[in-house]
């Protein structure tokens, strides 16, 4: 009807097909059928135009543009499929690794426990002799193996939805309990920093494992008489911060970025570290929706900060009466547990 607009229907057809293809890329077989139909339709129009002695050069150009789009789209789909395969393989490897760690830890716990029980029985009758000393070495190594197996099990299960069993935990009382338990184990100057009265939702057992790992790390990197301090701070709606600081040897800067990796203890002076304690701390922190940070200066000590979900402290700047009484009682008993003024964290 309008010869001057002869190629406009062809343009509309190709533009519509291109738009539809952009929204939903077809698989090869349906795509070929659609392209064949569109090409047959436009070829008919082109034939009519040629019969009218018109020059519809735009039609082949539109078809070429569409084919270029198809080519790029197929490349994108192939790249996405390859990326998906790699992601699935990585997920499968991670799941296999997690199952292996869980199975290995479960299988190791029973024989280690049995061997440890027999070694303890033998140690009772062999005191003061070379055999008794050897049995104590065996007991120490078996205890270390059991600790490794337990930590591997915790790390492997950290991503399980049933990993945590949250309950209200009063962190000031919780901190006092931990320090009372640790005070007799090492000849250190155990101190309490700032203790805010705060209750948060946490798995008390898992959180205790994480703090124990931090304190064990602090004991390993300090000498007799060095200070190890534990603090709890909460500021408004911000995260709850449990801080373990020590006056030990510190951590070199090049090791800080790998300090929480598995089997990377960064322990040059004490090669008997398992490299799992800090990895366990990070796994427990992330399971609680938090994180663990470290600040350290070689020769000036280290400070590990475990951040938990926000909670509202009842008394944000002081000790409860019960905690204060506990501090006074411990200090009065001749122990090395004492409350010291809070100092700003290492910068």
For 218, other C-beta atoms within 10 Å of its C-beta total: 26
Contact 342, 192 (CB under 8 A): no
For residues 172 and 320, state if they share a domain. Answer: yes
**pLDDT value of residue 228:** 93
Residue located via tokens 């900060």: 305
For residues 147 and 199, state if they share a domain. Answer: no
CA distance linking residue 213 with residue 207, whole number of Å: 10
For residues 146 and 183, state if they share a domain. Answer: no
H/E element holding 240? strand 239-246
For residues 84 and 195, state if they share a domain. Answer: no
For residues 214 and 112, state if they share a domain. Answer: no
Please check whether residue 344 lies inside any domain of the structure. no
For residues 171 and 69, state if they share a domain. Answer: no
Reference 153, options 112, 115, 201, 181; nearest CA is: 112
For residues 269 and 334, state if they share a domain. Answer: yes
For residues 194 and 129, state if they share a domain. Answer: no
For 50, other C-beta atoms within 10 Å of its C-beta total: 11
Q: What is the CATH number for 204?
A: 3.30.565.10
**pLDDT value of residue 275:** 67
**pLDDT value of residue 293:** 92
How confident is the model over 36-95, as pLDDT tens digits?
A: 777 777 777 777 767 766 555 666 666 677 777 777 777 877 888 888 888 888 888 877
The total number of structural domains in the chain stands at 2
Please check whether residue 42 lies inside any domain of the structure. yes
Which residue, of 127, 157, 187, is where some domain finishes? 157
Q: Which residue range(s) make up the domain with 271?
A: 167-339
For residues 279 and 171, state if they share a domain. Answer: yes
SS3 294: strand
For residues 149 and 179, state if they share a domain. Answer: no
Chain centre to alpha carbon of residue 25: 37
For residues 137 and 8, state if they share a domain. Answer: yes
Which residue, of 129, 157, 185, is where some domain finishes? 157
Beta carbons within 8 Å of 247's beta carbon, 6+ residues apart: 222, 226, 227, 228, 300, 301
CA distance linking residue 231 with residue 211, whole number of Å: 11
- Local confidence pLDDT in tens for the 347 residues of the chain: 666 665 666 677 777 777 776 666 667 677 778 777 777 777 777 777 677 665 556 666 666 777 777 777 778 778 888 888 888 888 888 777 777 777 776 777 778 888 888 888 887 777 667 777 788 888 888 888 888 888 887 887 777 777 888 999 999 999 999 999 998 888 889 998 899 988 899 999 999 999 999 999 899 889 888 999 999 998 777 889 999 999 988 888 888 888 888 766 555 444 444 568 898 999 999 999 999 999 998 888 999 999 988 754 444 444 443 443 344 344 333 334 443 333 344 43
SS3 293: strand
Please check whether residue 202 lies inside any domain of the structure. yes
Please check whether residue 346 lies inside any domain of the structure. no
Assigned token pair, 95: 């799941």
Please check whether residue 347 lies inside any domain of the structure. no
For residues 153 and 177, state if they share a domain. Answer: no
**pLDDT value of residue 303:** 93
Reference 188, options 158, 153, 230, 160; nearest CA is: 230
Which residue, of 124, 157, 190, is where some domain finishes? 157
């Amino acid at each position: 009807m309008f010869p001057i607009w002869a190629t406009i229907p062809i343009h509309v057809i190709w533009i519509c097909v291109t738009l539809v293809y952009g929204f939903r890329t077809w698989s090869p077989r349906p795509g070929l059928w659609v392209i064949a139909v569109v090409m047959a339709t436009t070829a008919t129009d082109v034939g009519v135009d040629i019969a009218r002695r018109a020059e519809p050069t735009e039609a082949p150009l539109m078809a070429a543009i569409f084919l270029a789009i198809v080519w790029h789209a197929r490349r994108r789909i192939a790249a996405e499929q390859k990326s998906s395969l790699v992601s699935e393989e990585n997920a499968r490897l991670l799941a296999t690794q997690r199952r292996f760690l869980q199975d290995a830890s479960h299988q190791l716990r029973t024989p280690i426990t049995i061997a440890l029980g027999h070694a303890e029985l033998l140690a009772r009758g062999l005191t003061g002799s070379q055999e008794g000393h050897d049995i104590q070495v065996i007991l120490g190594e078996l205890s270390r193996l059991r600790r490794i197996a337990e930590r591997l099990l915790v790390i492997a299960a950290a991503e399980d939805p049933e990993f945590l069993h949250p309950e209200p935990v009063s962190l000031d009382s919780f901190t006092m309990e931990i320090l009372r338990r640790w005070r007799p184990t090492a000849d250190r100057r155990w101190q309490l920093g700032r203790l805010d009265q705060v209750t948060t939702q946490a798995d008390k057992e898992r959180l205790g494992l994480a703090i124990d790992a931090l304190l064990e790390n602090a004991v390993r990197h300090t000498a007799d008489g060095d200070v190890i301090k534990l603090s709890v701070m909460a500021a408004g709606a911000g995260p709850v911060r449990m801080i373990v600081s020590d006056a030990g040897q510190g951590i070199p800067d090049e090791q800080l970025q790998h300090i929480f990796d598995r089997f990377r203890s960064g322990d040059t002076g004490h090669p008997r570290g398992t490299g799992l304690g800090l990895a366990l701390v990070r796994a427990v922190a992330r399971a609680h929706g938090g994180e663990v940070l470290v600040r350290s200066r070689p020769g000036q000590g280290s400070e590990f900060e475990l951040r938990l979900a926000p909670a509202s402290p009842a008394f944000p700047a002081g000790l409860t009466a019960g905690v204060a009484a506990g501090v006074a009682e411990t200090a009065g008993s001749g122990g090395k547990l004492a409350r010291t003024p809070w100092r700003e964290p290492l910068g």
